[in-house]
Amino acid sequence: MLLDALLFQLGYNAALVMIGAGLLGLAAGMAGTFLFLRKRALVSDAISHATLPGIAVAFIVMEAFGGDGRSLAGLLIGAICASALGLAAVTYLGNRTRLSEDAAIGAVLSVFFGFGIVLLTVIQAFGYGRQSGLEGFLLGSTAGMLRSDATLIAVSAALTCAIVLLMRRPLTVAAFDPGFARVSGQRPDWAEAVLMAVVLAVTVVGLKVVGLILIVALLIIPPVAARFWSDQSTHVLWISSIIGGLAGYFGAALSAIAPDLPTGPIIVLCAFGLFLVSFLFAPERGVLASVLRHFRFRRDVHMRQGLLALAQGHPIFEDLTLKLLIRAGFASADGVPTDTGRARAAKALRDEARWREVRGDPAFERAAARYDGLTDLSDVLTEDQLREVDARIGPPVGAA
C-alpha cells in the first residue's frame, strides 16, 4: 500500500499532492537554512499562526458575496494578508516598543490564533458547521483534495522553490555577514525582506498540506538535521532541502494511505525520522561516530600507557590495558612483554623522552602545543628536527 503510494499509484490527485509536498519541503528546507543561520526561525511561527484569522475572514467574505467560501486560492490570499499583518505587528512590537522580539512573537502568535478560533466558531455558529473544512488548515488535510487545489499547491510550491534557488547567493551572504553584503553593493535589508517573503510563501502554500500549527517544523527540523552532516553552508543548504523534500514526499504518501489522520503531524514525524537518522549516523557529529571516536581514543590511551609501563618494567594492574596489550601480541597472558612488545615499548619510551625535550624548549613552542600523550613526535616534526632532538637527548637507554 505504501509502495503504491510512493510510486504514484493512488491516483492523479494524490500524486500531485505528493509532488507538491515534496517541492514544498524542498523550498522549506532551503528557506529554513537561512532562518537557522539568522536565528530567526520562530518568526515563522508567528507568521503561520497569524494566517488563521485571514483564512476565516476570506471564507466569510467569499460566502457573503455569494461565492464558494472554500475556494483555496481565495483563502490563501486571505492568509497572505493576515500573515503580513502579523509580521508587521511583530516588527512594530519588537522595534518600536521596548518589548523583546520573542515576546512580540508569542503575543502575535497566540492573539491572532485566538482571534482566528473566535472567527471559526462564528462561522460554525452561522450554520456552516464542519462543512467549511477550515479545521483542515490547522493540522493539514490532504484527503479528498480537489484537482484544482492540488494543482495550485504543486505549482506554487514549484514557484517558491525556484525563487529560493535564484536568491540563494544574496541570501547566504546576508545571513553570514550583513556588513560584507553591504560593502559589496548588495542590500542585506532586501535580502531579509526576500527571506521573509519566501517564508511567508512556504507557510501559505503549506497551510493545506502541513497546517498552520506545525509548518514551522518543516522550517526548523531539516536545517538542524543537515547541520549534522556538514560544516559548509552550501552543503547544509542542499542537504537540508533534500531532507525537507523527502519528509514532504514520504509524509504525503503515508497520509494518502491513512486519510483519517491529519497530514501535518505525519510529515513532521517523517522529518523527525530523517533527523534521527542524521543524529545517530552522521559521520563526525553523529552519536555513533562520537561513540566510536570515544572508544578509539580510550584504546589509544590505554595502549600508550601500557607500553610505557612495559618499557619501565612496571606491573600492569589495569584489566583493559592488559587485554589490549595481549590482544596486540605485545604481552603474554601473565603480563610479561613479548619481543615485539619490548621493541614497541622502547619506541614509546623514546618518543616520550623526545617529547619531554621538545616541550622544555621554547623554540619548539608550536610543536609542543600538539602534545596530547598519544601523537608520535615523528608525525609533528621533520626528520632534521628529530635528529636535532635526538642529538640533545643522546642515544636510547639500553641501546648503548
Contacting positions for another protein (CB under 8 A)? 36, 39, 41-42, 45, 49, 92-93, 96-100, 102-103, 105-107, 109-118, 120-122, 125-126, 135, 138-139, 213-214, 216-217, 220-221, 223-224, 227-228, 260-262, 264-266, 268-269, 272, 275, 279, 285-287, 290
Least distance (Å) between residue 321 CB and another protein: 28
CA 92 centroid distance within chain = 30
Quick one: 22 or 262, whose CB is closer to another protein?
262
Nearer to another protein by C-beta: 125 or 399?
Answer: 125
Comparing CA positions, the residue from 46, 49, 35 lying closest to residue 105 is: 46
Q: How far is the CB of 22 from another protein (least distance, A)?
A: 19
User: Shortest approach of another protein to residue 168 CB, angstroms?
Assistant: 20
Q: Check if the beta carbon of residue 132 is closer than 8 Å to that of residue 62.
A: no
Closest C-alpha among 18, 83, 35 to residue 221: 35
Q: CB 160 → another protein: shortest distance, Å?
A: 20
| Residue 357: Cβ within 10 Å count | 16
For the CB of residue 122, give the shortest distance to another protein in the complex, in Å: 5
The three three-digit cell numbers of residue 264, written as one number:
501535518
Cβ neighbour number for residue 38 with a 10 Å cutoff:
17
Contact 115, 121 (CB under 8 A): no
User: Distance between CA atoms of 286 and 172, rounded to whole angstroms?
Assistant: 25
Measured from the CB atom, is 260 or 384 closer to another protein? 260
Write down the least CB distance from residue 282 to another protein, Å: 9
Give whichever of 15 and 243 is closer to another protein, judged by the CB atom. 243
What is the closest distance, in whole angstroms, from the C-beta atom of residue 249 to another protein in the complex? 17
In the bound complex, what is the minimum distance in angstroms from residue 262's beta carbon to another protein? 7
